[in-house]
Structure 1
Amino acid sequence: MQITIRTPHAADRPAWDRLYAGYAVFYRTEQSADMRDTVWAWLLDPDHPLEALVAESEDGGLVGLAHYRPYPRPLHAAWCGYLDDLFVDPDYRGTGAADALLARLREIARERDWPIVRWTTADDNYRARGKYDQVATRTSWITYDMPSA
């Protein structure tokens, strides 16, 4: 299957919305339409640091997404990339869409002189971890979330 990776256009909103809602369901995260409105607005705002890639199948439908952003890595005095979200429609897993999204993100990192792209995933996300083990190095870091309230 031919997969094309590109940036999203305004007309992609319904397809992106379906994919991003699916991503939230996968991670058992409550997400409202208003929340997706906010993220979509960020993605279309050239002044917002969050950017996106979408995977388009040969029939023109969106089958995957990746959201990423720059982040400073002070200990290394460098800007790097952070992959916040990567999702491929379950019907299109194994088609190369995830490979293509990650390959394009690697190209973007090279273009921007980011020495690494970092991301996290759930410990039990075995299928994704199998893919990630092919393209990246698992670190020994443990992630914590501190609530602000």
Structure 2
Amino acid sequence: MEQNIKLTVPFFMVTDMEASLRLYREGLGFKITKQWTPRSRIEWCRLERDAVSVMLQQLRKLNAEQSGPLGGGVTITYQCTDALALYHEFVEKGLEVAEPFVGNGLWVVSLKDPDTYRLEFASPTDVPEETTYSTWKKLRL
């Protein structure tokens, strides 16, 4: 049987499209591949980097059931070849990135976007569980 479901694309409502685009484009290296500009500015877009995509849409007003930050409790994990290379790239760009650690056999690099969606970039490793990047670097010297 042929696979029916082939791709998932996270779709985030954002409170400040310009701030979100700065992070995703300048900080994380995504490129806009599609956009909707009904009022002479981007209100929805699809961004891609390598084999992954994300969609952003400007929130027009809060729903009655919305309380707290939009991204509260939501984590998107991007599987990648070298999460530590991305860590160095993001730090070099001045992003606030948590110290990488090993969890479930993966280096995990995480940060939050302007609406507090947690973004994790993870790559396989044989480094022991719960090792932090700073500890691992000291052991390698």
Same fold (TM over 0.5): no
More strand by share: 2
* Structure with bigger gyration radius: 2
TM-score by length of 1: 0.27
More helix by share: 1
TM-score by length of 2: 0.28
